[in-house]
Chain A
Amino acid sequence: MVRHLPTLSIAMSVTSLALLLAQPATAETVTIGIGTQDTTTNTVTAGVVIRQLKLLEKYLPTSGKYANIKFEMEWQNFTSGPPVTNAMMANKLQIGMMGDYPLIVNGFTFESNPESKSRLIGIAAYSLSGSGNGMVVHKESAYYDLADLKGKLVSVPFGSAAHGMVLKALQDRGYPADFFQLVSQSPEVGSTNLQEKKIDAHADFVPFAELLPFRGFARKIFDGVETNLPTFHGIVVRTDFAEKYPEVVVAYMKAIIAANQWLRDNPKLAAEKIQEWTGISKEVVYIFLGPSGNMTTDPSIKPALIDAATTDVKVLQNLGRMKEFDPKKWVDDSYIRKAYAEMKLDYDARLASTKNYEIAGEDSFCKKPIGDPRKAGEVWVDDAGILPFASAACTLGAYADFKAKGKKINVTYVFDTARGIKLFADQAFFAVGGDEIAPFLLKKDAEAHAAKISGKVLGFEDAVKSAVTGGKT
């Protein structure tokens, strides 16, 4: 017995060793490195949502040549695009997502990579009017318009989508390039500097132009919509990886479609989950990704976005940051088309449509259905959910009503009367006259409108009072 034991154990260890050795021969492990930007809210449906809901695992191919391949996902989170490009160049990441300017830099940088190029294969979210990027000033400052910032110190992360917005805004208004003293600061540095009033204004990409006002120390004075230049976040892939495993890239596209569906099915839950996963306040997530939000999540690669990218290339060339680059040749929509086809969805219909999902339903305060969603409003009541209201006046009236009933209100949204972008009601300027209450992002717009309706401009609290006393429609 005692003598038999060692032989038995040797036999066992030999078999287990053989099994160990045999395993890699049958199952090959392929690592997929994916670079996300969790805090950049409009990339979440291409990144953190897929990771947390394990959507990619659901669509990964398992048959044919993939029968013996085991996939391992390596998700890496960054706060801006360039580090993603860097890791993609080093082949540590195969798939990455970032905003329009970093995307172009990505495509251009890969031109000189002998191993692989990069291709734009899908869009995470976009705004055709250029919302999402914005410029904020300190709440206590006396700046209400770009014109007030003449000669002041303005910071923006160079090479970002927000940088493009600032340059376009200067160009549109015919201001010289040195109209402000423009310096480069990352979001982290710029935010702290603005809070400490070391800079006069900070321009940034999603979600900072909304997040900083929401944190309570900043005020947005310029929104990307004023430039009317589309902005977007997209997904790029290394071509060597995509050519070797095209089905994986298609699976990734399917996961994005599924993530978008999940978001639209229950935007409130999605906002809460995204807050849990990324640390960005749910109220801020919802202003971008909720119904009638400032961003449209849609993976199709719209020609308008590529045209915008071509404009962006020119801006970078003028700065001497880039040589020849043709965004049209860099786009590859074959994967997203295949994903749509395999999911029995119509890609061309999606491509042609620029519709977001909008606020709908019944106004429980004014007792009428929602007509124009971009004139409506929403109140997020802590225990009752996000309730839609037909107009700004109804929204403010409902807000006062909830307050009177002692309900806790998270946030109230209204829409800019002129530009149709979603606003935090407590940050807006209201032109109030007669029984009309018209919210605006910019003080000067509100003043112009107030003059037209011979009314006056009120802040949020006063506008609520006037909604209660007479503005109810």
Chain B
Amino acid sequence: MSSPALLRHSEDTMASAMADVPPAPAATQSTPPSFGTLALRWFRLNQGTLRATAIGIASLIAFLLVWHLLTTYRVVFFVRFTNVPSPLAVYASFTKAIHDPKFLMHILLSCRRILMGFSLAALIGVPLGLIMGRFKLIHEIVFPVAEVLRPIPAIAWVPMAIMLWPTNEQSIVYITFLGSFFPILVNTLHGMSLVDPVLVRAAQCLGARERSIFREVYFPASLPHIFTGLTVGMGVAWVSLIAAEMISGQYGIGYFTWEAYSLVQYADIALGMIAIGVLGLGSSLLIRGVGQLVMPWRVK
């Protein structure tokens, strides 16, 4: 899937797919189509997407409904919903929060921290992974250290992060950085290890230098894995947010959730959780979108 041969192939299918589409408008150019046929055509073209969206919305509504019923009837069936806040209670704290400029501040600051931590992780993790995948010695030096540091949970880093960095903002960014760094590094390495050696040899036979091999063979071939790493890394960055923002002491959606926990406000805790979930979803979609742009040869 990641070999250039396949890439060529998928480009071909892409091209032929595109070739399929244009004739349709061309054929109807003589008689302008009515609004109805246009709508119908649009519907046919986007049928798959529409279907997915509709099912997605229905499943989210079903989730909310089940949540609502479980909490209203305080269901106890091994799992206990006695004190879990209902969606309406969470909605009430949401409407309260949305009128509070502080809540927007929480979200903006968290997004900034994630963006900085994640960008740094991508800027360091991807090149490092590529180099480690290419040069054995560097791999042998860096890999053991990375493997030891990788399983350490974000919350355990809190005291060290405070001591390591001069400002708290840096400590927070550092923890989100750590969260996304390792998935990016490991996936990039994995991508590098799957590059077909035949292609590399072929490139060498054709007189390609190291730099060109990197640019033309290794990098594009491992791109799909790099993007998997980026998506996972973004998720983990949000996961480590609460731990990171324990340091902040005043702003951030992770801090908001943590403070709600200190004051035992269940509805606010749920609101914080959902906000993190939604923001995480949004950022993952963003990365997937960028992935589509960078790798147009990939089939959806």
Contacts and interface: CB of A to CB of B under 8 A. Distances in A.
A33 interface: no
A188 B158 contact: yes
A431 B158 CA distance: 42
Contact of A159 (B158, B250, B262): B262
A39 B85 CA distance: 31
B207 interface: no
B162 A106 contact: no
- Name which of B162, B259, B265 has the most chain A CB atoms within 10 A of its CB: B162
Interface in A173-226: 183-186, 188-189, 192-193, 195-196, 198
B264 A184 contact: no
B173 interface: no
Contact of B162 (A113, A115, A192): A192
Contacts, number: 68
A12 B259 CA distance: 59
A157 interface: yes
Interface in B231-278: 246-250, 255, 259, 261-265
A80 B163 contact: no
A359 interface: no
Given A82-B264, A183-B250, A184-B262, A114 B82 contact: yes
Main secondary structure of the interface of B (DSSP, over half): loop
Interface residues of A, number: 31
Contacts of A90: 80, 83
A321 interface: yes
Interface in A135-184: 155, 157-160, 183-184
Interface in B261-299: 261-265
B10 interface: no
B168 interface: yes
Contacts of B259: 158-159, 184
B159 A188 contact: yes
Contacts of A185: 246-247, 249
Contacts of A158: 259, 262-263
Interface string B18-52: 00000000000000000000000000000000000
B83 A89 contact: yes
A339 interface: no
Interface string B202-213: 000000000000
Given A113-B82, A183-B249, A198 B162 contact: yes
A128 to B, nearest CB: 26
A159 B265 CA distance: 11
A112 B163 CA distance: 41
10 contacts: A85-B264, A90-B80, A109-B264, A158-B263, A159-B263, A189-B158, A192-B158, A193-B162, A193-B247, A198-B162
Interface of B: 74, 80, 82-83, 158-159, 162-163, 167-168, 246-250, 255, 259, 261-265
Given A112-B83, A195-B163, 7 more contacts: A91-B80, A113-B82, A115-B82, A186-B262, A189-B162, A193-B168, A321-B263
